[in-house]
Structure 1
Amino acid sequence: MSLTHTFGLLAHPDQEWEAIRNESESVTKLYAGHILLLALIPAVAGFIGTTQVGWQIGDGQITKLSVTSALQLSLLFYGAMLAGIFVLGKFIDFFAATYDASERTPRGVTLAAYTATPIFLIGVIAAYPNIWVNMLAGLVAVAYAVYLLYEGLPILMKIPAEKGFMFASSVLTVGLVMFVALLAISVVIWSMGIGPVYVS
């Protein structure tokens, strides 16, 4: 079961990547048993945090989003996470031949999904939308996700550690480009009138 790997990746990532490699899991099963559930954590937490708790800058008043606005943004965010995992996974599969990966079964989506696990889990902190707390927690999650990427890619793709390092660096670069593209798309969506609606 996909969710059993979640805690293993946090406790003993090397062994867990080996276990993941030895499984034959379809993309559909991976989404149903792992991605769809974990991606809900930051989306739901963000909805609760922005509508029920709110945030404030300095000594200013507490700001919240309207329920409708927060719901729209949470759904868009959820969809973006699901699509992002799939697209990044396909990029990984595309790059696999370049780095002579001996694993012929497409495992890109698997790698992308499990690498993103700490980011999904730390998303619960969005229920308390304090910019500094969220930023520090996010940095820790991203750092561990990068560690999982560099640690897991050579194991999952069955390539030497040296090539794995270069491969993982390429994947990380693509991930950063996708993040910037997502920010640009967000600006376009906001300009279409689906931006946040604030309430006091």
Structure 2
Amino acid sequence: MINHVWGLFHHPDKEWRSINEEHETVSHLYTHHVLGMAAIPVVSSFIGTTQFGWSLGGQNDDIQVSLATGIAIGICFYMLIILAVAAVGSLIHWLARKYPTRPSRHECIVFAGYVATPLFLSGVFAVYPIIWVCALACITGLVYTAYLLYKGTPNFLGISHKEGFILSSTMLAVGVLVLEALLVTVVLLWSLGSEHSVVWKFMS
């Protein structure tokens, strides 16, 4: 897992060829990459929301959630990330339907899992959750994710760079929509959790 993570940042072209040659299964991807990488934003968010509290950048506006609420939200967040990788991979498989070299659905899920690596890593900034810092980290992760997508799509599908650019742009747009839906869901969960914590403290 660590070798691929380093390679995707240090020499993405070479690493994409290596990943393609491995013909990795979905179960291997999840056990050796996704399950571990997805834990980064989840654990970081859990620490940030339960120990420090979300901050909008002002003074005395931090909102914390209880440990029990944080665990419940973290489990939901983790499951959503795992499902999102499979969903994006399935969408990539559908978008590539017109190409004769179209990879299988499980290969597309493997591709999606590795493309999302920068987004997983950017989640570490949620450990001290200041909104603008987390937003900047998410944007940076998204930019590098787009770069990996543009670099990997032509080689992954065996198509020209021009076709790869067009298709990867569509993939990125779809991926952003999935990411936004994921973030909205997490924010709603966090909001409900913070309201629950406030009510619990009031009742106590």
Q: How does the TM-score come out when normalised to structure 1?
A: 0.88
Q: Which residue of 1 aligns with 2:94?
A: 94
Q: Which residue of 1 aligns with 2:67?
A: 67
- Tell me the distance in 2 between the aligned counterparts of 1:44 and 1:25: 27
More helix per residue? 2
Q: Which residue of 1 aligns with 2:31?
A: 32
Q: CA deviation at 1:181?
A: 3.8
Q: Deviations over 1:85-130 (max 9, x none)?
A: 00110111122222x1525444211111111101111211111111
Q: Which residue of 2 aligns with 1:56?
A: 55
Q: Which amino acid aligns with 1:151?
A: K
| Alpha carbons 2:93, 2:103 under 8 Å: kept | no
Q: Which residue of 1 aligns with 2:166?
A: 166
Q: CA 1:59–1:29 in structure 2 vs 1: closer, same or farther (change >3 Å)?
A: same
Q: Which residue of 1 aligns with 2:175?
A: 175
Query: Which runs of 5 or more residues in structure 2 are unaligned?
Result: none
| Alpha carbons 1:47, 1:127 under 8 Å: kept | yes
Q: CA 1:96–1:113 in structure 2 vs 1: closer, same or farther (change >3 Å)?
A: same
What SS does structure 1 have at the residue aligned with 2:159? coil
Q: Which amino acid aligns with 1:158?
A: G
* Higher mean C-alpha deviation, range 33-42 or range 117-126: 117-126
Q: Which amino acid aligns with 2:39?
A: L
Q: CA deviation at 1:60?
A: 2.0
Q: CA 1:11–1:45 in structure 2 vs 1: closer, same or farther (change >3 Å)?
A: same
- Tell me the distance in 1 between the aligned counterparts of 2:135 and 2:6: 23
Map 1:1-200 → 2, pairs under 5 A: 2-57=1-56, 58-98=58-98, 100-106=99-105, 107-182=107-182, 195-196=193-194, 197-198=196-197
Q: Aligned pairs, how many?
A: 195
| Alpha carbons 2:77, 2:186 under 8 Å: kept | no
Q: CA 1:182–1:56 in structure 2 vs 1: closer, same or farther (change >3 Å)?
A: closer
| Alpha carbons 1:101, 1:158 under 8 Å: kept | no
| Alpha carbons 1:72, 1:194 under 8 Å: kept | no
Q: CA deviation at 1:145?
A: 0.6
Q: CA 1:54–1:148 in structure 2 vs 1: closer, same or farther (change >3 Å)?
A: same
| Alpha carbons 1:63, 1:198 under 8 Å: kept | no
Runs ≥4 residues deviating over 4 A: 183-187
| Alpha carbons 1:53, 1:64 under 8 Å: kept | yes
What SS does structure 2 have at the residue aligned with 1:102? coil
What SS does structure 2 have at the residue aligned with 1:64? coil
What SS does structure 2 have at the residue aligned with 1:39? helix
| Alpha carbons 1:3, 1:33 under 8 Å: kept | no
- Tell me the distance in 1 between the aligned counterparts of 2:78 and 2:20: 27
Q: How does the TM-score come out when normalised to structure 2?
A: 0.86
Q: CA 1:155–1:62 in structure 2 vs 1: closer, same or farther (change >3 Å)?
A: same
| Alpha carbons 1:111, 1:149 under 8 Å: kept | no
Q: Which amino acid aligns with 1:92?
A: I
